[in-house]
A = this chain, B = another copy of it.
Amino acid sequence: MESGIEKSETLRDTVREFVERKAVTNTILGVIIFNAITLGLSTSPSVQSSIGPALVLIDKIVLGIFVAELLLKFYAYRLSFFNNAWNIFDLVVVTLGLLPNRDGLSALRGLRVIRAMRLLSVIPQMRAVVQALLDALPGMGAVIIMISIVFYVFAVMATLMYGPDFPEWFGSLGKSLYSLFQIMTLESWSMGIVRPVMEVHPTAWIFFVPFIVITAFSVLNLFIGLLVNTMQSAVEDESVEEFSHLRELVRSETDIVDDRVKELLVEVRALRREVAELKGQTDG
């Protein structure tokens, strides 16, 4: 039994070493890029009609490689596999490709392509960029919640006030949220939505103009907060180093003076001893 466990541990180590090997990760990267290209080619009807079956086969092989890679990784790391957010990301985007792929479900057909997003998880520089984007999120939490509350309240109000007359835009809470998002992006907010609404409810601008001003101002503050945070930590690092150099300099310079004064003190004390001796001689 024990040797069985040992063997399994050895095998696990071998597998771990294998999946972490440079050649293997590079091969996987190559497969991802190759698959990204074949997925792109599969959008062309002419390519589809000439080498369509080949593309389907390639897709199945690539999916097989990805599944094998994930299984090996899961075998190698066991549950600590899930400690790495990128593994979970890979798991999700690969799993989406295993969903049934009927012709009727064109949405699911598209989801399969999300697998090419693995380019972001496999290239280290891309990981760093995505990480930086995600790191910015927590600092934005409170403002995002505030904007969400404002959105929710305005959406409920819009549904109650304008829903009956404009069911297409404000007929339900979901439709109102979508329409308010569109208005926040300023797309056709006036010509497309608010002017028609004002023909029925002439005071509707009292609702929509403040909504635009509030969300624009909130998004602006979100952005300023993000910017100040990034800037501050950048400037801080720089300045902390400069200050630390300066402190070091002040210390070392005063130490030099201090050392010389100490030297002087030794001399003066020696002098006192000599004078004391002299005094003793004279006394004698």
A→B interface (CB under 8 Å): 36, 39-40, 42-44, 106-107, 109-111, 113-114, 116-117, 119-120, 125-126, 128-130, 132-133, 136, 142-143, 145-146, 149-150, 152-153, 156-161, 163-164, 172-173, 176, 178, 181-182, 185-192, 201, 203, 205, 207, 209, 212, 217-218, 220-221, 223-228, 230-232, 234-236, 238-240, 242-243, 245-247, 249-251, 253-254, 256-258, 260-265, 267-272, 274-279, 281-283
CA distance A53 to B123 in the complex (A): 58
Contact of A232 among B238, B265, B279 (CB under 8 A): B238
Q: Name the CB-closest residue of B to A284.
A: B282
What residues of B have a CB within 8 angstroms of the CB of A132 in the complex? 221
Complex Cα gap A271–B153 (Å): 86
Main secondary structure of the interface of A (DSSP, over half): helix
- Which A-B residue pairs are the 3 nearest by beta carbons? A110-B161, A43-B159, A182-B190
Shortest Cβ distance from A169 into B: residue: B195
Considering the chains assembled together, what is the distance between the CA atoms of A68 and B241 in angstroms?
A: 55
Which partner residue on chain B sits nearest A163 by CB separation? B43
Is A212's CB under 8 angstroms from B185's CB?
Answer: yes
- The answer for the CA separation of A149 and B93 in the assembled complex, in Å, is 15
Known: A120-B149, A157-B113, A274-B272. A220 touches B223 (CB 8 A): yes
Contact A109 B243 (CB under 8 A): no
User: Which one, B42, B111, B209, B228, contacts A231 given CB within 8 A?
Assistant: B228
A249: chain B residues at CB < 8 Å are: 247, 250-251
With a cutoff of 8 Å between Cβ atoms, the chain B residues found around residue A136 in the complex are: 221
State whether B239 touches A240 (Cβ < 8 A): no
CA distance A207 to B113 in the complex (A): 13
